[in-house]
Chains A and B, each alone.
Chain A
Amino acid sequence: AQTVTQSQPEMSVQEAETVTLSCTYDTSESDYYLFWYKQPPSRQMILVIRQEAYKQQNATENRFSVNFQKAAKSFSLKISDSQLGDAAMYFCAYRNFGNEKLTFGTGTRLTIIP
């Protein structure tokens, strides 16, 4: 079974600074997908960014980018120019290729300091 580990229960960052959230995973598969979801106080789950394991290039979405290290099974999220609206729980998630089941990490609560 796959597992996803987020070792930082809480993180904080000054507004406009950069923060990196860590995620490691364990799998014996070679084809899979990785995701970062944001959960603001509204409770809605919002997809932030996704990475296909077969792609060597790291995914980027505006201020959000990932550092995907397949050999190390590491998938960190970098948020640049942090904004107050980035305050939320962030979940790392894994999905096997050909399977829709998501395995989530335990989450990191991100606080933005004005």
Chain B
Amino acid sequence: NAGVTQTPKFQVLKTGQSMTLQCAQDMNHEYMSWYRQDPGMGLRLIHYSVGAGITDQGEVPNGYNVSRSTTEDFPLRLLSAAPSQTSVYFCASSRPISNEQFFGPGTRLTVL
């Protein structure tokens, strides 16, 4: 199993550009989520999904869109990047009622 994979590992954008951060898992996990990590603030939940076709907002959803068309994939879209979105982004997945979420390696995004 590859576990949770994220691409790209690093990305630099200009303000106003759009892009999609990819996340995939091969563990058949129903639950997937996106977090952002900023210095001094820990990880904060952006969006999550409890299964294909179902998504919901987390703590900091503004500026981000998600969709879940398959169990395996959960992309995060930035429609118009802003410097405030400079961060490290983590994708995670788990089975319901399990006691462990599996995290991807993260994507470091810089918006100039």
Chain A CB within 8 A of B99 CB: yes
Q: Complex: how many Å from CA A33 to CA B108?
A: 29
Chain A CB within 8 A of B61 CB: no
Number of chain B residues whose Cβ lies closer than 8 Å to a Cβ of chain A: 25
Chain B CB within 8 A of A100 CB: yes
The 5 A-B pairs at the shortest CB distance, nearest first, are namely A45-B103, A104-B42, A104-B43, A100-B31, A106-B42
A43-B105, A44-B105 are contacts. A102–B100 as well, Cβ < 8 Å?
A: no
A binding-site residues for B, Cβ under 8 Å: 4, 9, 33, 42-45, 47, 50, 52, 91, 93, 98, 100-107
When the two chains form their complex, are residues A101 and B103 in contact, meaning their CB atoms are under 8 A apart? no
B binding-site residues for A, Cβ under 8 Å: 31, 33, 35, 40-45, 48, 50, 58, 88, 90, 92, 94, 96-97, 99-101, 103, 105-106, 108
A43-B106, A107-B42 are contacts. A101–B48 as well, Cβ < 8 Å?
A: yes
10 interchain pairs, CB-CB under 8 A:
A44-B105, A50-B99, A50-B100, A91-B42, A100-B101, A101-B58, A102-B43, A102-B101, A104-B43, A106-B40
